């Protein structure tokens, strides 16, 4: 306790609360008070006027006394950093009036820790006012981009960092929820408003995938055939020791693996067009998930996509684009490392084995096992990476997902009912109507959705796992 100047002490409430002027700093008045089971505290009132000091001391003591009744010793917290607010939220997260559930509490803590990682744990909330520029930089940082020399955010799962408009709004709500908890408990007096509305305009909405035109499909398949060149056959035709063409610069022992990856990409792309499924779902399919069946004398192939995590597992039927699915599968069976194994029903169709020597850096082996990278190489080589007509779509490159979008678009334009397209694409009817039937009128939508599955020139579209319904005879004959 600092020594007082004699004659300056003045009691306010009994002998527990009084103001005085310390000898070390006689410029300002100080308050001294003691609450139950707590040490006596001395705090500066930051004023030289005695009358003003008495008013400030009365108000301050009432606030501290009320906080002490609720929080106990926590009422005397002097720090108000981001870490203090989070620790206080963790302490009271079990209270249902503040947090809806334990899962939401963990989510709030995870969101707030990302802000702490970017803005700093020792940053004081009372002096912190997030500007538009600061939050814009935070958005870029959360998307994995380097901001002001600071490396971008890296998720613990190893996946690509993303930040959509919905996720950002949820993080801001978590920020406010932690600060609100700290404010009610007296850790901070108030917190600044976060300018969410001005930031949402900077978050661009996810654009639609650039599909292929119907006229491009035959040329696409033809280019794929030319792209899958067997290096041994090419060497025999050229009757030369070296490999010519676009794979002549490959390392020794690499040509066969390179060729297998191209064949795998060809089969993978054709099945995407035929089944209109998602690339990630098709990549996890096993040999036991493929079933051959006869539907009205037509050979059909059903794919059990039980690994689908986007929606419920479903059965997909391969048809369309005049593709011979049996020929495509037999072509890949000749090269597939997993098909040649015993008891291959549990092995994935598109897995390939590759070896790299110990302590050898050969990323080219790894990159050829990635569907997106290999498909991009193919599009760049044949100069079909961009949309040929639409200038707006030319701003975005085509990707492996474009094959799924193309397949669904072709089915939608062929006159199939929405229910059938939705079932085969494993997507909701609302999504199919919004993005693939968007150019149709509402009356036509109702007509199409009420029609039964129809016969197409490519084969009859019928789910393998469902029995076909008998046609009802009309009363009018």
**Is residue 70 scored above 80 in pLDDT?**
no
State the average pLDDT over residues 200-210: 60
Which residue did the predictor score with more confidence, 257 or 31? 31
pLDDT cut 70: percent of the chain above it = 72
Reported confidence tier of residue 476, pLDDT bands at 50, 70, 90: very low
State the average pLDDT over residues 419-425: 86
**Is residue 155 scored above 60 in pLDDT?**
yes
Query: What pLDDT, on the 0 to 100 scale, is given for residue 272?
Result: 92
State the average pLDDT over residues 444-467: 39
Q: How far apart are CA 105 and CA 96, in angstroms?
A: 10
- Considering only 95-109, 270-284, 384-398, 424-438, which range has the smallest mean pLDDT? 95-109
316-368 per-position pLDDT tens digit: 777 777 788 889 999 999 888 889 888 888 889 998 865 555 555 554 556 67
pTM of the model: 0.53
State the average pLDDT over residues 244-258: 50
């Amino acid at each position: 306790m600092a020594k007082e100047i004699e004659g300056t002490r003045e009691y306010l409430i009994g002998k527990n609360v009084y103001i005085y002027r310390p000898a070390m700093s006689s410029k300002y008045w100080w308050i001294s008070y003691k609450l139950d089971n707590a040490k006596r505290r001395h705090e500066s009132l930051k004023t030289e006027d005695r009358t003003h000091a008495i008013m400030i001391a009365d108000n301050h003591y009432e606030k501290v006394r009320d906080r002490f009744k609720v929080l106990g010793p926590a009422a005397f917290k002097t720090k108000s950093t981001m870490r203090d607010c989070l620790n206080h939220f963790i302490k009271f997260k079990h209270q249902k009036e503040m947090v809806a559930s334990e899962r939401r509490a963990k989510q709030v803590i995870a969101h707030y820790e990302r802000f702490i990682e970017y803005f700093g744990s020792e940053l004081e909330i009372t002096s912190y006012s997030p500007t538009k520029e600061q939050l814009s930089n935070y958005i870029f940082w959360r998307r994995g981009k380097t901001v002001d020399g600071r490396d971008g955010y890296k998720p613990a799962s190893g996946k690509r960092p993303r930040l959509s408009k919905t996720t950002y709004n949820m993080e801001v709500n978590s920020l406010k929820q932690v600060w609100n908890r700290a404010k009610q408990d007296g850790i901070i007096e108030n917190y600044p408003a976060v300018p969410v509305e001005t930031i949402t305009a900077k978050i661009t909405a996810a654009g639609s995938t650039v599909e292929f035109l119907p006229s491009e499909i035959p040329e696409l398949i033809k280019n794929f055939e030319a792209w899958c060149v067997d290096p041994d056959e090419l060497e025999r035709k050229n009757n030369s020791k070296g490999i010519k063409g676009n794979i002549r610069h490959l390392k020794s022992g690499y040509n066969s693996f390179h060729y297998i990856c191209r064949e795998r990409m060809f089969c993978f792309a054709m099945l995407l067009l035929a089944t209109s499924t998602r690339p990630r779902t098709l990549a996890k399919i096993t040999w036991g998930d493929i079933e051959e069946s006869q539907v009205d004398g037509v050979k059909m192939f059903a794919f059990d996509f039980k690994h689908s995590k986007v929606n419920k597992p479903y059965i997909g039927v391969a048809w369309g684009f005049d593709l011979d699915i049996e020929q495509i599968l037999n072509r890949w069976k000749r090269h597939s490392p997993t098909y040649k194994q015993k008891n291959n029903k549990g092995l994935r169709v598109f897995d390939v084995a590759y070896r790299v020597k110990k302590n050898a850096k050969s990323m080219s082996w790894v990159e050829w096992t990635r569907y997106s990278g290999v498909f991009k190489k193919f599009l760049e080589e044949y100069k079909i990476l961009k949309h040929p007509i639409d200038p707006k779509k030319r701003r975005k490159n085509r990707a492996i997902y474009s094959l799924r979008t193309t397949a669904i678009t072709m089915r939608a334009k062929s006159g199939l009912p929405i229910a059938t397209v939705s079932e085969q694409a494993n997507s909701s009817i609302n999504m199919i109507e919004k993005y693939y039937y968007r150019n149709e009128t509402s009356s036509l939508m109702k007509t199409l959705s009420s029609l039964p599955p129809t016969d197409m020139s490519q084969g009859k579209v019928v789910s393998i796992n469902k029995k076909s319904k008998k046609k009802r005879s009309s009363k009018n004959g």
